[in-house]
Amino acid sequence: DAGVTQSPTHLIKTRGQQVTLRCSPKSGHDTVSWYQQALGQGPQFIFQYYEEEERQRGNFPDRFSGHQFPNYSSELNVNALLLGDSALYLCASSKGLVITGELFFGEGSRLTVL
Amino acid sequence: SQQGEEDPQALSIQEGENATMNCSYKTSINNLQWYRQNSGRGLVHLILIRSNEREKHSGRLRVTLDTSKKSSSLLITASRAADTASYFCATDGRGYSSASKIIFGSGTRLSIRP
């Protein structure tokens, strides 16, 4: 039973560029949540996708956008990268619109913006 | 913004001792969860306690919840070197839709000295 997989694991970009991160949820899960975790901080909620729609959004600018595909996998896109976007981006999956249990996390994508 | 705040931010104890971490949160919850994160990796779910529960055990873990004080504690008994990690509390919260999202605290960095 495959868990949550994320790609790429590491990437380096320069300011102003755009990046796309990918996530495949755990088998049987249909909800994907994305988090940004700066070094030494807790994960900050970016947004959540269910049935191919954004259902919840945290306090992040419109430069952060996402998508969910019919197979429940998801992408996180960040445009016009800033130095402050350097972080570990975590994807978590769960089942159903209302989260009543645990989240299952991938190992994350480490983004460095130079 | 963080829903929960952990205390202490960092904790260093001798192997074999007990470790206690506290979490305070701001709004009403349906459940509270604790997660563990090894350096730079994804988060792993440890235990979930529902708002109508006061205490829960899982192996060497004991979690308490006081909804009147909006606080929770995580006790790890007989600590081991492998317990060295960051620990986060997480609470659910309803957003602008009927969906829910999981919001994480800032974490406690636990170091176990041999």
Q: Which two tokens stand for residue B75?
A: 């006790």
The answer to whether residues B46 and A104 touch, using CB atoms and an 8 Å cutoff, is no
Contacts of A33 in chain B (CB under 8 A): 101-102
- The whole-number pLDDT of residue B95 equals 59
Distance CA B11, CA B20 (A): 9
At residue B100 the predicted structure's pLDDT band, cuts being 50, 70 and 90, is confident
Query: Does B40 sit within 8 Å of A98, measured CB to CB?
Result: no
Tens of pLDDT, residue by residue over B71-83, are: 999 999 999 999 9
Give the strands of the sheet with B4-7, arranged side by side: B4-7, B19-25, B71-76, B61-66, B55-58
- The whole-number pLDDT of residue A92 equals 97
Q: How far apart are the first and last CA of chain A?
A: 37
A62, A73, A84, B32, B59 from B47: Cα distances, Å: 34, 26, 32, 9, 10
Higher pLDDT, B7 or B111: B111
Q: Which residue has the tokens 């929770």?
A: B72
- The whole-number pLDDT of residue B97 equals 61
- The whole-number pLDDT of residue A101 equals 85
CA nearest to B16, candidates B67, B97, B76, B66: B76
Query: Does B95 sit within 8 Å of A56, measured CB to CB?
Result: yes
Q: Is the pLDDT of residue B11 over 70?
A: yes
Burial environment of residue B22 by CB neighbours within 10 A (0 to 12, 13 to 18, 19 or more):
middle
Distance CA B61, CA B72 (A): 13
Q: pLDDT 10s per residue in chain A (114 long)?
A: 679 999 999 999 999 999 999 999 999 999 999 999 999 999 999 999 999 999 999 999 999 999 999 999 999 999 999 999 999 999 999 998 888 889 999 999 999 999
- The whole-number pLDDT of residue B94 equals 62
Contacts of B96 in chain A (CB under 8 A): 56
- The whole-number pLDDT of residue B1 equals 46
- Measure B91 CA to nearest chain A CA, in Å: 10
Contacts of A44 in chain B (CB under 8 A): 2, 104
- Best interface-test mutation with B: which of A26, A34, A52, A98 has the largest number of B CBs within 10 A? A98
B18, B36, B86 from B4: Cα distances, Å: 22, 15, 15
Cα–chain-centroid distance for residue B72? Answer: 8
- The whole-number pLDDT of residue B24 equals 95
Could you count the other beta carbons within 10 Å of the beta carbon of residue B3?
23
Tens of pLDDT, residue by residue over B12-53, are: 999 999 999 999 998 888 899 999 999 889 999 999 999 999
Query: Does B92 sit within 8 Å of A105, measured CB to CB?
Result: no
Q: Cβ of B43 under 8 Å from any chain A Cβ?
A: yes
Contacts of A104 in chain B (CB under 8 A): 45
A14, B56, B103 from B33: Cα distances, Å: 36, 11, 10
Query: Does A105 sit within 8 Å of B40, measured CB to CB?
Result: no
Q: Which residue on chain A is closest to B96 by alpha carbon?
A: A56
Query: Does B40 sit within 8 Å of A55, measured CB to CB?
Result: no
- The whole-number pLDDT of residue B103 equals 92
Contacts of B106 in chain A (CB under 8 A): 41-42
Q: Cβ of B106 under 8 Å from any chain A Cβ?
A: yes
Distance CA B2, CA A46 (A): 12
Distance CA A39, CA B96 (A): 29
Q: Are strands B108-113 and B10-14 parallel, antiparallel or unpaired?
A: parallel
- Measure B109 CA to nearest chain A CA, in Å: 9
Q: Which two tokens stand for residue B20?
A: 């206690």
Q: Which residue has the tokens 């560029």?
A: A17
